[in-house]
Amino acid sequence: MKLKLILSILFVATCFVALGQEKSPEKGLIKISIMYPYSEGKTFNMEYYETKHMPMVASFLGANLVKYTIEKGLSSGIPNQPLPYLAIGTFYVKSLSEYQAAVAPQRDAFRADFKNYTDVTPVILVSEVVK
């Protein structure tokens, strides 16, 4: 009887973990999206960005960082329009002010690393996950 109870609890826990994570765990988080616009002749080294730059920035964000993502631009979703962005890197954080406090002293180091992977000046969007 006691073991059946433990089994049931573990089973229910598995379901909760599975369901809980499917239901937008990001809602309410702040996203900082660093967006690299496409234009003819510009370059972007995705390998360096993924293996060096993003982990380096992430290492300064501590427990405030929930996750970060990287995406590679493929095309415009509107026919005959140019690709809007070559790449986007996004940090999901709990607190914008904590993020700002963490990156402010490192800003020059981050910018100095730009030239190692791109000649594009990024656009940065701060947004809130609604859903």
Residue numbers 92-131 binding its own copies by CB under 8 A:
96, 123-131
The C-alpha angle with vertex 129 and arms to 98 and 106, in degrees rounded to 5, equals 30
Tell the smallest beta-carbon distance from residue 31 to its own copies (Å).
6
Q: Which is nearer to its own copies, 11 or 116 (CB)?
A: 11
Among the listed residues 43, 77, 105, 115, the single contact to its own copies using CB under 8 A: 77
Torsion (CA) 36, 82, 131, 29 in degrees, nearest 10: 10
Q: Tokens for 112? A: 């100095």
Residue 89 host element (H or E):
strand 85-93
Q: Which residues bind its own copies (CB under 8 A)?
A: 3, 6-7, 10-11, 13-14, 17-18, 21-22, 24, 26, 30-35, 46, 50, 54, 67-78, 81, 83-85, 88, 96, 123-131
